[in-house]
Amino acid sequence: MKQKESVSELLISEVVPEDSGDYSCVFGDQKTTASLKIKAQPVTFKQKLGSQEAEEGASVTLHCELSKPGVPVEWRKGTQVLKSGEKYQMKQKESVSELLIRKVVPEDSGDYSCVCGDQKTTASLKIKALPVIFKQDLQSQEVEEGGSVNLHCKLSKPGVPVEWVKGTQVLKSGEKYQMKQKDCSVELQVCDLKPEDTGSYHCRTGDTESSACLKVNALPVIFTKELQSQQAEEGGSVTLHCELSKPGVPVEW
């Protein structure tokens, strides 16, 4: 406040919209009043978002700076408005706004925007997928004919499609082969084992595979029903029969 001779002054520095209102100069029972209206400067982005590339599994921070502190902003991916939670964390300190994206996956790739009123800054985020590898390989096994066997392995990512192959033959799920997948674990069950099931088995995903050998030992053939001694009259017919533990086995009489 200044006063020189008969002139009085009030200086208001660095005015903001909140300084708008009525101001009065009072002397005794005398008063003079005037209104002051402050026009807000439009908010602009002093520093815009920058496009980024990151590897799958990392955390990414997008940040920008506004021309004014404490101005509310909205974060979007494409047209989707983002909410703070486990996946996204939003921070604002003075005029700087940040978006933290945790444990990024390829699906997080896209355009991200920070919106303030009619102002917007946009940048692209590209996530490089990590290659799928076998964390646990198939193990070779030796089993007996007639039972079933489980071949299993573990991948570095859950839900990755795989293909099971015996030799060069792609296997299909059914009575003979049953395929299971839970999280990162995949399993092939081979049922009703026969010596012909012996061979190399492969689990493939993309250009990566794990292989193992399966050996099925044939069970020995035994007589489950033996020949029975008989008496017969001359000139008649006699049938001798027995039963083996496997069908189609060649015999000699």
Q: CA-CA distance, 17 to 22, in Å (whole number)?
A: 13
Average pLDDT over residues 43-50: 95
Percent of the chain predicted with pLDDT > 70? 100
Q: CA-CA distance, 204 to 96, in Å (whole number)?
A: 48
Q: Which tokens hold the place of 13?
A: 């520095």
* pLDDT-derived band at 214, boundaries 50, 70, 90: very high
Average pLDDT over residues 224-238: 91
Q: CATH: 2.60.40.650, 3.40.50.620, 2.60.120.620, 2.60.40.10. Which one for 45-128? A: 2.60.40.10
Q: Which tokens hold the place of 233?
A: 């009259």
- Whether 134-217 and 45-128 are alike in CATH topology: the answer is yes
Please give the full DSSP string across 70-84, using - where no structure is assigned: T---EEEETTEEP--
Reply yes or no on whether the pLDDT at 248 is more than 90. no
Start-to-end CA distance of the chain, whole Å, equals 130
Reply yes or no on whether the pLDDT at 17 is more than 90. no
Reply yes or no on whether the pLDDT at 49 is more than 90. yes
Domain boundary assignment for the chain = 2-36, 45-128, 134-217
What Rg value do the Cα atoms of the chain yield, rounded? 41
Q: Which tokens hold the place of 137?
A: 């390989």
Look up residue 241 and give its amino acid: H
Look up residue 244 and give its amino acid: L
Q: What is the pLDDT of the chain when averaged over all its residues?
A: 94
Q: How far, rounded to the nearest angstrom, does the alpha carbon of residue 148 sit from its chain's CA centroid? A: 33
3-state secondary structure 106-161: HHHCEEEEEEECCEEEEEEEEEECCCCCEEECCCCEEEECCCCEEEEEEECCCCCC
Using a 10 angstrom Cβ sphere, with 0-12 exposed, 13-18 middle and 19 or more buried, the burial of residue 172 is exposed
Evaluate whether 43 touches 93 at the Cβ level (below 8 Å): no
- Per-residue pLDDT at 132: 93
Q: How far, rounded to the nearest angstrom, does the alpha carbon of residue 195 sit from its chain's CA centroid? A: 41
Strand partners, 243: 225
Number of other residues whose CB lies within 10 A of the CB of residue 236: 6
Pairing relation of β-strands 52-55 and 119-128? parallel
pTM, two decimals, is: 0.61
Fold category of 134-217 in CATH: Immunoglobulin-like (2.60.40)
